[in-house]
Amino acid sequence: MRRVTRRREATVSSSAIPSSGSRVRLRPPRHRVDRRAILWWTLRAALLVAPLLLALGVAAYFVPSLRTWVLLAFGVVAVLGVAHVVVMPQWRFRVHRWETTDDAVYTSSGWLNQEWRVAPMSRIQTVDSSRGPLQQLLRLSSVTVTTASAAGPITIEGLDRDLAADVVERLTAVTQATKGDAT
């Protein structure tokens, strides 16, 4: 039998919201994403900014007639890019939250445009997990909950890989046991 740590039990188990006919309400979710998500977001941001800076540096070297403008653009991109790489991951970590209960999936996300979402179990159609190359390297995973909603799916990014697998398994079991047609 697989041993479950206390932390994982707390994040995957039901919450204090009573089920059986109670209304699902919008409230802040309780759990943070894994701390390794900061490194993941930092690497993604750096992989976006670095090629742009490299291209501008090469253009400044090989196109002397535009060097002044290209160097000006390089400076602007460098300042904004470094700020993005340094500030954004920390900020996202502070605002990203998630929680699952027997009644709903709760998320809070966004670093500029912040969004709270609640997906009642009866509206869930599919539960998926995914890992890109950087996530695989960092042992992270994302969980996507697709609902019958015009707002689109709910995604919980930056979960520990094992915890994400437990969340998918639990959500699948609870969703199958919930009455409703998910439409």
For residue range 25-83, what is the model confidence (pLDDT) as tens digits?
667 899 999 999 999 999 999 999 999 999 999 999 999 999 999 999 999 999 999 99
Closest CA to 180 of 29, 25, 27, 21: 21
Q: What would the mean pLDDT of 125-146 be, rounded to a whole number?
A: 96
Confirm whether 20 is domain-assigned. no
Confirm whether 98 is domain-assigned. no
Confirm whether 45 is domain-assigned. yes
- Count of domains in the chain? 1
CA distances from 137 to 21, 39, 43, 133 (A): 42, 11, 11, 6
pLDDT interval class at 1 (50, 70, 90): very low
Beta bridge partners of 104: 120
Residues with Cβ within 8 Å of 26's Cβ and at least 6 positions away in sequence, in order, are: 116, 118
Confirm whether 74 is domain-assigned. yes
Confirm whether 73 is domain-assigned. yes
Percent of the chain with pLDDT over 90: 69
Percent of the chain with pLDDT over 70: 84
Confirm whether 58 is domain-assigned. yes
Q: What is the DSSP string of 105-143?
A: EEEEE-SSS-EEEEEEGGGEEEEEEE--HHHHHHTEEEE
Lowest mean pLDDT among 91-95, 112-116, 124-128, 177-181: 177-181
Confirm whether 65 is domain-assigned. yes
The pLDDT assigned to 114 comes to 87
Question: pTM to 2 decimals?
Answer: 0.80
The pLDDT assigned to 23 comes to 64
User: Which residue segment(s) compose the domain that 48 sits in?
Assistant: 39-91
Confirm whether 47 is domain-assigned. yes
The pLDDT assigned to 100 comes to 94
